[in-house]
Each structure stands twice: as C-alpha cells, then as structure tokens.
Amino acid sequence: MEYLLDHYKNPRNYGSLQNPDITHEEGNPSCGDVIRIDLKITDNKVQKVKFTGKGCAISQAAASILTDMIVDKDVDYIKEINKDDMLSALGVTLSPVRYKCGLLALKVLRSGVHGIKNWPGEEE
Ligand code: FES
C-alpha cells in the first residue's frame, strides 16, 4: 500500500507535453474519474510520457506507475501489458470493484496508442 500511496502523493511523469504525438483522455463512466496521457514517439518507441488526471488514489497512482513502465519501450509492448500485469504492478491486491480504478490508465493508453477501446481483460 505504501508503494501505491507514494505514487499518488508524488506522481511520476505528471504534467503535459508540448506537441505530443499522441494525446488521449478517457474516464471511468461509473465515477467520472479521468486520465489524460500525452506521448512523444520516436522510431516506434515511447520517448516521453506525461499524464494528468483527477480521481481516486488508485487510478492516479496507477497512471504514475504505468507511465514509468513504458518509458523507452516499444509501442507494441503497450499492447502486451494485460490486466494482470497492471494489477500486479500496483503492489496491492484490489477488490474486484476497484479493478477499473487500477485499469483506467491502461485503458486510456491502449486506446490512445492502439485504438483498443474495451477495458483490459474484457477483450476476449
Ligand atoms: Fe473512479 Fe477509482 S473511483 S477510478
């Protein structure tokens, strides 16, 4: 829990990019929390990433954790991050009602980069 709270209180990669190659914002319709992710992509790699958002501690901390995970990674790697990878990266076990909090950032990222619209874990 401390790891998650640290990311909430001291978010990594918080802010906006000037002239991002991709910018995408989406929310969780059930609560109205939103996350926007800006990306700079060079040679198919994530060169820079920033996010802004508002919402619960889990959704915002997850955005901080996820953005840290993808710096310098190939954009195809983003497609491979699945629900379980994201939930385990949080370092806490969420109850199923909070899954969407933990997965919102990944949803925004996959939707912005690959156009994948559904929630992680609901693609099958
Ligand atoms: Fe809205 Fe967590 S309560 S994403």
Q: Could you read off the pLDDT of 64-102 as tens digits, one per residue?
A: 999 999 999 999 999 999 999 999 999 999 999 999 999
Q: Which pLDDT belongs to residue 107?
A: 98
State both tokens at 58: 């889990």
Q: For residue 80, how far is its CA from the centre of ligand 1 (angstroms)?
A: 23
Q: Which pLDDT belongs to residue 42?
A: 97
Q: Which pLDDT belongs to residue 6?
A: 97
Which residues form ligand 1's pocket by a CB distance below 6 Å?
28, 31, 33, 55-56, 58-59, 100-101, 104
Q: Whose CA is nearest to atom 3 of ligand 1?
A: 56
CB-count exposure of residue 72 (10 Å: 0-12, 13-18, 19+): exposed
* Domain ranges within the chain, ordered by starting residue: 2-114
Q: Whose CA is nearest to atom 2 of ligand 1?
A: 101
Q: For residue 54, how far is its CA from the centre of ligand 1 (angstroms)?
A: 9
Per residue in 56-66, pLDDT (tens digit) is: 999 999 999 99
Q: For residue 57, how far is its CA from the centre of ligand 1 (angstroms)?
A: 8
Per residue in 2-52, pLDDT (tens digit) is: 999 999 999 999 999 999 999 999 999 999 999 999 999 999 999 999 999
Mean residue pLDDT of the chain comes to 96
| Complete DSSP assignment for 49-82 | EEEEEES-HHHHHHHHHHHHHHTT-BHHHHHH--
Say if residue 124's pLDDT is above 60.
Answer: no
Indicate the class that CATH gives domain 2-114: alpha beta
Q: For residue 44, how far is its CA from the centre of ligand 1 (angstroms)?
A: 31
